[in-house]
Chain A
């Protein structure tokens, strides 16, 4: 077990500009930035298509193609075309995060029961009000599911971004490989895994807070139903 823990438990690796806290913050920064941009781009697109019920086929197709893109390929291509620095990897990460967010918004809003939307319109709400006050709150579980899925993908891929010179926790993996230092490599990998699990837990917690209690799955004797 020394192999997996010797580097991790060495206090010298936890201080300084190349220490774990610094790299952790870099990693989180890349993740947050990419997620924010992806939400700004993907959410409106998905919401619009879900609300108007038009263009769904194109949206799902586009999301599937984006999902099938190999992340390493996109990353190296963008860096070759646009140089190194923060922008290319963030661009690649954002591209990855858009499909789940877009699909989540589209599926969520599209799955809101027609009777509910109809009732809202019948009560006199305008389209925009229907969208923001009825459809989006009702679609929260799926929208949030999309955001969580995107967050996980970005945390995972930000590790790979270290291959093209970025910082973050992936730096330990690639430096460890070049230096033939498996404990460092494993230390980085474990930190990334732990970070991913933590991000998932935090977002699940946020989802609990944000999603209306009326939308939570209800336990009945016949099994779990929504």
Chain B
């Protein structure tokens, strides 16, 4: 017993000593969180967030660039914006598909623009040096608070304003970052005075969130408007009269140094042909039971769109 105690004390002292000298620098291990090197100057590294649509868009960009003769490498499924944007800033990735409204709020927390053009103009100003946004597409995929048909009928709610007084009876589920995003929990509180009973961390409109809403373990979910699951289940997208969720046009966010003319031409051509209806259809194709690869869905669409 004495020896065990002696051993434990030794370990504790050693551990304290190790931690004292080890982490002293205190540099955030999540900062510049990347797997290493920057790509050579003629190659573009395309990244994506950790949900299916982002991966699809990344594959579309990658395929379009490859067709235009640009060398491309892919680093997909990195994580939330909080995780991959630092990687973009330090050059581990060069290009990522983005959504105008939330991106603006990421760079400028107090942004107030809500219409597509206003958001785009403000975004171009707010983007930090070294990064730029190319042309926006007409395709929009917005966050939306979704409830089941029963919930909507129970509270006779068509919009967030209708449901606001009853938020305290509902549990909201979404990806963890929704708790801190300006248009997430803080935004709903500010714009609608809506405070949910509690929040359950699930995923970004992935299987967990869908299952939770179906099973009733949450009553409201933050989902993406191009997700066909909403319509399939007969769920209700609550309207957003106060524009808590600004316009979310899909556009490429790129490292300015890598935005050569060929690159810009290829990506802008994609943006010109991409609209919400197409995006929703592509998402549905992706979710088909035989699970086609995102890269195949992407190249098929490019071919059919004449790009």
Contacts and interface: CB of A to CB of B under 8 A. Distances in A.
Q: Check A-B contact in the complex, CB < 8 A.
A: yes
Contacts of B29: 3, 182
A1 B23 CA distance: 6
A4 B176 contact: no
6 contacts: A1-B26, A17-B198, A179-B180, A180-B30, A180-B86, A182-B30
Contacts of B80: 178-180
B23 A3 contact: yes
A220 interface: no
A66 B279 CA distance: 42
Interface stretch (B118-126, B207-215, B295-303): B207-215
Given A3-B23, A174-B201, A80 B79 contact: no
Interface residues of B, number: 29
A72 interface: no
Given A165-B202, A180-B83, 17 more contacts: A1-B19, A1-B20, A1-B23, A1-B26, A2-B26, A3-B23, A4-B19, A83-B211, A84-B215, A165-B201, A177-B79, A177-B83, A178-B79, A178-B80, A178-B83, A178-B177, A180-B80
A76 B179 CA distance: 25
A179 B26 contact: no
B24 interface: yes
Nearest to B180: A179
A179 B82 contact: yes
Given A1-B19, A179-B82, A83 B30 contact: no
A165 B19 contact: no
A164 B28 CA distance: 26
Chain A facing B: main interface SS: helix
A85 B207 contact: no
A175 B24 contact: no
Interface in B130-151: none
Interface of B: 19-20, 23-24, 26, 28-30, 79-80, 82-83, 86, 175-177, 179-180, 198, 200-203, 207-208, 211-212, 215, 217
A148 interface: no
A27 interface: no
A86 to B, nearest CB: 10
Interface string A1-24: 111100000000000010000000
Contacts of B179: 175, 179
A121 B28 CA distance: 66
A171 interface: yes
A83 B79 contact: no
Contacts of B83: 177-178, 180
B100 to A, nearest CB: 21
A207 to B, nearest CB: 14
* Residue among A80, A177, A179 with most chain B CB within 10 A: A179
A80 B217 contact: no
B177 A179 contact: yes
* Residue among B28, B179, B201 with most chain A CB within 10 A: B201
A83 to B, nearest CB: 6
A85 B175 CA distance: 17
Contacts of A165: 200-203, 208, 212
A221 B217 CA distance: 62
Nearest to B27: A3
Nearest to B201: A175
A80 B207 CA distance: 8
A182 B16 CA distance: 20
A141 B154 CA distance: 59
A174 B215 contact: no
Contacts of B24: 1
Contacts of B23: 1, 3-4
A127 B202 CA distance: 52
Contact of B211 (A84, A174, A177): A84
B170 to A, nearest CB: 15
Contacts of B79: 177-178
Contacts of A180: 30, 80, 82-83, 86
